[in-house]
Amino acid sequence: MGRLGLSILKPFQVPFVIVLLATGLSGCGVNNIPTFEEQAKAAWSEVLSQYQRRADLIPNLVETVKGFAEQEKSVLTEVVEARAKATQMKLPDNILSDPAAMQKFQDAQGALGSALSKLMVVVERYPDIKSGQNFLTLQSQLEGTENRVAIARRDFIGSVRSYNTELKTIPGRWWKSLLYPAAQPMANFVNRPGSEAPPVVKF
């Protein structure tokens, strides 16, 4: 049998057969897990980048509002403290596979977003702030950043869903068992209770 196989498969045909096998395996999804994993990690990096962009805008925004509305200290303080908590949080290396750490990160960013929303509501009381060019520029940048955050979160959620689904379904489950035993499901964003409602500010 071995001699028959050797006589059929010529030495120069071996590389061709290997290429065919590799092509067949790739068509069966053998590379899906690492591909989806890298896509999710790239999407996560974009989420972090956009949250950092938002955090970088806040000091100037707070200073601008303070210049016109020093009496709104409680709201300004809430924004500053929420920013500090969000930016000083040390993210563990395994945050993408740690739902508790992901939730803590999301809660901190959600608190900052809520504080910013309250600040914008308060600004409605001060026409001088609303009409100032510096504030208008910062507001535009902040709105653009919030849109980018939303898009980055959406892309991350989709990427994680694809990766996690691949780990749970066939043939991904087989490839995980055979080639990627260390691959773990990733934690994803979840909607915070009440996050769909606008902030309530009492005057």
Classify residue 122 as exposed, middle or buried by CB count within 10 Å of its CB (0-12, 13-18, 19+).
buried
Contact call for residues 37 and 172 (beta carbons, < 8 A): no
Give the model confidence (pLDDT) of 73-93 as tens digits: 899 999 999 999 999 999 999
Contact call for residues 122 and 72 (beta carbons, < 8 A): yes
Contact call for residues 167 and 161 (beta carbons, < 8 A): no
Contact call for residues 142 and 116 (beta carbons, < 8 A): yes
Instruction: Name the strand (E) or helix (H) holding 7.
Output: helix 2-8
Give the model confidence (pLDDT) of 124-157 as tens digits: 889 989 888 999 999 999 999 999 999 999 999 9
Mean pLDDT throughout 21-33?
68
CB atoms near residue 162 (< 10 Å): 15
- Tokens at 146, concatenated: 């919030």
Contact call for residues 166 and 172 (beta carbons, < 8 A): yes
Distance CA 162, CA 184 (A): 13
pLDDT band at 18 (very low <50, low <70, confident <90, very high): very low
Examine the pLDDT at 19 and tell me if it is beyond 50.
Answer: no
Whole-model pTM: value is 0.79
CB atoms near residue 121 (< 10 Å): 15
